């Protein structure tokens, strides 16, 4: 009966009327339902298997991609910090390459404007106002030894000193080593605070003045002499020695000195010049940081700063001392490799 209505879609060659009873119709419906359920069940089972397979593949792909991205990130991160690490003698490990290049450009830009001709030697305040500013920035520069007075000094990232010394030890070098020389008598705030940050450091204090040895902190080695220049006429005075004589006497030839603190009341210009000349000698020590208080601006000041810069040091700190008259300045110098200062 229905066939003629669907001729465009179905082709029916012959139509016969089948007389069937109720049981026949019921059996047919049961068979049809059973077949439909089996079909649906097989389709559902196939769908479930397919879905589970897709979920497994997606999970494995996610885990693989996450591990790969982490590996790439760690690789890029390590490579990104390698330049600063290598060019700072393993001192900086937290400065990315992009920021390191900015620091490099800043140093080159400031030095390009420097002049070896200075006209303000007679006015120290004006001399230091217009010449030799801080050209390098340490990310975690900190003042050690108190916030006021001559006892406090600004250090470049003091927490990195011990880490850099551990790297040297692994490469068969010496451990942490510090030299301090100050005109302030019986004042050890700087050394005490430094030992709290780098407890493994070997600190040597030099002073020609009589000290109360009972007040010397544990871990500090006191020596009863001060530093002098090589051309000094105090040869017979055992209270003064050159830095190179001190190094040989203490057996520190060829060592790396992590920090030199020098307050020589005007003799620092010649003392440091001797130190830099000794740098060319065999087994000469390497001073990584130098905290120097300069007094006045004699005619040799320009050569003093240029010599320090030519030996691989950058100025990371500059500030007037407690006198605040401008003729005394606290300078911080940090040694870097030639690749930083003279890139290929």
Which range has the worst mean pLDDT, 97-101, 240-244, 335-339?
240-244
Q: How confident is the model at residue 188 (pLDDT cuts 50, 70, 90)?
A: confident
Could you tell me the two tokens for 183? 């005109």
pLDDT band of 147, cuts 50, 70, 90: low
Q: Token pair of 86, please?
A: 């290598």
Cβ-in-10-Å burial (0-12, 13-18, 19+) of 190 comes to buried
Q: What would the mean pLDDT of 282-291 be, rounded to a whole number?
A: 90
Q: What is the CA radius of gyration of the chain?
A: 39
Q: Please, what is the average pLDDT of the chain?
A: 80
Query: Helices in 152-235 by DSSP H: which ranges?
Result: 159-170, 189-197
pLDDT over 90 (residue 277)? no
Buried b vs exposed e over 79-103: b needs ≥16 C-beta within 10 Å? eebebbbebbbbbbeebeeeebeeb
Give the SS3 label for residue 259.
Answer: strand
Which of 26-30, 83-87, 139-143, 278-282 is predicted least confidently?
A: 26-30
DSSP string, 273-317: HHHHHHTTSTT--EEEEEEEEEES--TTHHHHHHHHHHTTEEEEE
Tell me the per-residue pLDDT of 211-236, one tens digit each, with 9 for 90 and over: 677 778 888 999 989 998 887 665 56
260 or 43, higher pLDDT: 260
At 144, the pLDDT band (50, 70, 90 cuts) reads very high
Task: Name the pLDDT band for 104 (thresholds 50, 70, 90).
Answer: very high
Q: Which residues contact 3 (CB under 8 A, 6 or more apart)?
A: 10, 12, 15
Contact 183, 322 (CB under 8 A): no
Residue 42 backbone phi and psi in degrees, to 5 = -65, -40
Tell me which residue of 182, 196, 322, 202 sits closest to 261, measured CA to CA: 182
Q: Is the separation of the CB atoms in 143 and 224 below 8 Å?
A: no
Question: Which carries the bigger pLDDT value, residue 125 or residue 29?
Answer: 125
Q: Tokens 């979920």, residue?
A: 55
CA 222/CA 206 separation, integer angstroms: 6
How confident is the model at residue 26, as a pLDDT?
Answer: 54
Q: What percent of the chain has pLDDT over 70?
A: 74
In this prediction, residue 283 carries a pLDDT of 80
Q: Rounded CA gap, 124 and 129, in Å? A: 8
pLDDT range class, residue 17, cuts 50, 70, 90: very low
Tokens of 189: 């705030």
């Amino acid at each position: 009966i229905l066939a003629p209505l669907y001729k465009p879609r179905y082709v029916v060659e012959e139509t016969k009327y089948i007389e069937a009873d109720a049981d026949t119709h019921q059996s047919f419906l049961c068979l049809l339902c059973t077949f439909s359920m089996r079909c649906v069940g097989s389709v559902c089972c196939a769908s479930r298997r397919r879905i589970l397979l897709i979920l497994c593949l997606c999970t494995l792909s996610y885990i693989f991609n996450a591990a790969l991205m982490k590996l790439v990130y760690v690789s890029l991160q390590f490579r990104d910090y390698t330049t600063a690490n290598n060019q700072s003698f393993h001192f900086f490990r937290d400065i990315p390459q992009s920021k390191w290049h900015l620091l490099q450009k800043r140093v080159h830009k400031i030095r390009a404007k420097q002049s070896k001709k200075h006209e303000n030697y007679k006015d120290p305040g004006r001399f230091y106002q217009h010449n030799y500013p801080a050209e390098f920035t340490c990310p975690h520069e900190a003042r050690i030894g108190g916030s006021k007075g001559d006892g406090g000094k600004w250090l470049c990232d003091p927490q990195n000193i011990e880490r850099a010394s551990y790297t040297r030890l692994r490469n068969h070098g010496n451990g942490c080593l510090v030299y301090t020389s100050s005109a302030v008598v019986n004042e050890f705030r700087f050394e005490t605070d430094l030992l709290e940050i780098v407890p493994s450091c070997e600190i040597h204090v030099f002073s020609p003045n009589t000290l109360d040895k009972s007040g010397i902190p544990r871990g500090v080695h006191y020596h009863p002499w001060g530093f002098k220049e090589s051309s000094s006429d105090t040869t017979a005075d055992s209270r003064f020695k050159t830095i190179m004589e001190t190094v040989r006497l203490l057996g520190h030839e060829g060592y790396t000195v992590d920090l030199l603190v020098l307050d020589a009341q005007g003799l620092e210009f010649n003392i440091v010049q001797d130190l830099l000349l000794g740098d060319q000698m065999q087994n000469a020590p390497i001073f990584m940081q130098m905290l120097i208080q300069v007094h006045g601006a004699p005619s040799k000041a320009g050569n003093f700063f240029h010599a320090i810069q030519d030996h691989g040091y950058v100025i990371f700190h500059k500030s007037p001392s407690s006198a605040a008259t401008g003729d005394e300045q606290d300078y911080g110098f940090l040694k870097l490799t030639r690749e930083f200062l003279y890139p290929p």
